């Protein structure tokens, strides 16, 4: 188990010491998809749902979540977030929340991007559940990351 960075030799979890890592520009993009009925997607896009404007609310929720990631995920380091971009698109029976995060730090922002995308999708669900309780959130994943010791990576899409 000593090969795992978040596990001590005795098997217990710990927060990795990143003080020896270089401060570099880092970025990550993640997405989450909400699957619902096409008529609900249309109402999300035209702003006619009972709870109000979904896209703006979910965008703000995603940004707030990015900034709170280290409060929610126990082994994440608090990071100075340089920028967050949230794109929410809908087509057919799907709404995709895509979150891109940037920092200049000693560790990456994949978890921040995943948290933002997840909370953005949860917010969309919260706002559509009155008209479709069977909506589901799926495909939460990192799409790409840049910077750091391991370099750049892009998921197969």
Active site residues: 126
Q: Considering only CA atoms, which of 65, 38, 52 is closest in space to residue 119? A: 65
Cα separation, 108 vs 21, whole angstroms: 11
- Radius of gyration, alpha carbons of the chain: 17
Contact call for residues 34 and 125 (beta carbons, < 8 A): yes
Q: How many other C-beta atoms are found inside a 10 Å radius of the C-beta of residue 122? A: 18
Q: What token pair was written down for 148?
A: 């750091």
Cα separation, 55 vs 62, whole angstroms: 10
Q: Please list the residues that pair with 24 across neighbouring strands.
A: 105
């Amino acid at each position: 188990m000593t090969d795992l960075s978040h596990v001590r030799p005795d098997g217990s979890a710990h927060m990795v010491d990143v003080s020896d890592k270089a401060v570099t520009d880092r970025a990550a993009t993640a997405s989450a998809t909400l699957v619902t009925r096409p008529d609900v997607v249309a109402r999300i896009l035209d702003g006619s749902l009972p709870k109000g404007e979904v896209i703006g609310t979910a965008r703000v929720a995603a940004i707030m979540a990015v900034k709170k990631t280290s409060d929610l995920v126990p082994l994440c380091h608090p990071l100075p977030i340089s920028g967050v971009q949230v794109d929410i698109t809908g087509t057919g029976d799907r709404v995709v929340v895509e979150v891109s995060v940037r920092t200049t730090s000693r560790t990456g922002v994949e978890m921040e991007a995943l948290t933002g995308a997840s909370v953005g999708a949860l917010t969309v669900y919260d706002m559509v559940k009155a008209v479709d309780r069977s909506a589901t959130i799926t495909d939460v994943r990192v799409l790409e990351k840049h910077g750091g010791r391991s370099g750049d990576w892009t998921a197969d899409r």
